[in-house]
Amino acid sequence: MSAQIAIVGAGYVGLPLAVAFAEAGRNVVCLDIDQALVEAINRGRSHVEDVADETLAGLVDEGCLRASTDPAVCAEADAVLLCLPTPLSTNREPDLSILEAAVRTLADQLRPGQLIILESTTYPGTTREVLAPILEQGGLVAGRDFHLAMSPERIDPGRRDWTMKTTPKVVGGLTPACTERAIELYSAFAERIVRVSSCEAAELTKLLENIFRSVNIALVNELAMLCHRMGLDVWEVVDAAATKPYGFMPFSPGPGLGGHCLPIDPFYLSWKAREYDFPVEFIELAGKVNQHMPYYCAERVAQALNDQAKAVRGSSLLILGVSYKSNVGDLRESPALKLIQLLREAGADVSYHDPHVPNLASESIDLESVELTDEALQRADAVCVVTAHAAVDHARVAEQARLVVDFRNVVPDRNGKVVVL
């Protein structure tokens, strides 16, 4: 059966998007280079928490969704959506090599009339200046022989109140006709579509959203450090400010930014801005403050131990939550990794519990999640809450632990043994 839609990259973005189209009655094929992932999808096994196995298996059984490692599937599709990683290089510059390689393969099979859409987060100009020339190498012209558009993914893994269907979809095409084609495609499931005038506007919209979060988180993180020095409770202050019915939006301080987006995306814009002799200082400053947070949190753990006449060296520390955000198992860029590394370098014996992350293997860490027994809580010199998962009973943590250092303000302090960021 020929596929109507091909999704290239079946990760956190691609798989839920494939499911949204398949549930809307479209025939979808996911193209991925990861053979094991492709086989799992075809068996109805999801690697993304937001997609339940039963949902995926149902769509696979009905024949609406399948996965493949064969790039030829794109030739059969009416629309090809690119959901590929856009990381930073080791020099913290945009690394579009994965995207460019996939687009080169796609260019070999491009057919007149196809619609190509970029969903990956990237700097303004990528679709027009990078993708279009590669796709045009076979002689077809973008905007004339095939349609090209940009529609940034806005998924927030783990979120239930806003879904792929209800979150408005921003769409900007290379030409007005490209925009129309893309809008028509997304109207299969999106309840609201926001048309912007160009691919560049769509690309920058996504970056603005993430930079807005990064800058505001940096602001409250800096305030948290100041509040500690001033003997004030930053959480109380943020909560009080949030009672203003207009003109204020609360952000929470924490141990630092994580995930595939916030620590990375802003630097796509700062890199592009250099081309225009325009240093974007908010982005750099926010990056600096947020990157410092795991170091600051390690200092706060040391201080809390010191107040109990203990040193970090030789202490037994239990980290609660290592993924970068609540209720998911995603470890990418998680500040917990940096914090664990710093505490181990200072001589602590570090273990962790995370119901979503059974094993932790990074460059310098190789640990398994310990069971959250009363004994484990009592044994630790300090329990550090880095990520708050709903599956963890934080009231029990408060009861059983000897000392808690809480970077998320979730542990009720009934007996004065909780230190909060």
Ligand X SMILES: NC(=O)c1ccc[n+]([C@@H]2O[C@H](COP(=O)([O-])OP(=O)(O)OC[C@H]3O[C@@H](n4cnc5c(N)ncnc54)[C@H](O)[C@@H]3O)[C@@H](O)[C@H]2O)c1
- Residues forming contacts to ligand X in the complex (CB under 6 A) are 8-14, 31-34, 37, 83-86, 98, 101-102, 120-121, 153, 155, 157, 260-261
Minimal distance in Å, beta carbon 355 to ligand X? 20
Which residue lies nearer to ligand X by CB, 131 or 380? 131
The answer to whether the beta carbons of residues 295 and 324 sit under 8 Å apart is: no
Backbone angles phi, psi at 84, to 5 degrees: -105, 155
Nearest residue relative to ligand X (C-beta): 11
How large is the C-alpha radius of gyration of the chain? 23
Q: Are strands 169-173 and 147-150 parallel, antiparallel or unpaired?
A: antiparallel
Which residue lies nearer to ligand X by CB, 55 or 105? 105
Biggest distance spanned by C-alpha atoms of the chain = 73
Minimal distance in Å, beta carbon 265 to ligand X? 6
Which residue among the candidates 64, 178, 261, 297 is catalytic per the annotation? 261
Which residue lies nearer to ligand X by CB, 9 or 321? 9
Q: What is the spatial distance between Cα 119 and Cα 124, in angstroms, rounded to a whole number?
A: 13
Q: What is the spatial distance between Cα 120 and Cα 356, in angstroms, rounded to a whole number?
A: 26
Which residue lies nearer to ligand X by CB, 9 or 124? 9
Q: What is the spatial distance between Cα 38 and Cα 32, in angstroms, rounded to a whole number?
A: 7
Minimal distance in Å, beta carbon 261 to ligand X? 5
Closest CA to 50 of 27, 90, 20: 20
Which residue lies nearer to ligand X by CB, 86 or 205? 86
Minimal distance in Å, beta carbon 288 to ligand X? 21
Structure tokens belonging to residue 357: 């992350």
Minimal distance in Å, beta carbon 17 to ligand X? 9
Q: DSSP letter for 369, please.
A: P
139: left (phi over 0), alpha (psi -120 to 50) or beta: left
Closest CA to 383 of 343, 347, 345: 343
Structure tokens belonging to residue 261: 């987006």
Which residue lies nearer to ligand X by CB, 101 or 241? 101
Minimal distance in Å, beta carbon 220 to ligand X? 21
Residues in Cβ contact with 173 at an 8 Å cutoff, skipping those fewer than 6 apart: 143, 147, 148, 149, 150, 179, 180, 181, 182, 198, 199
384 is catalytic: no
Q: Give the catalytic positions in this structure.
A: 261
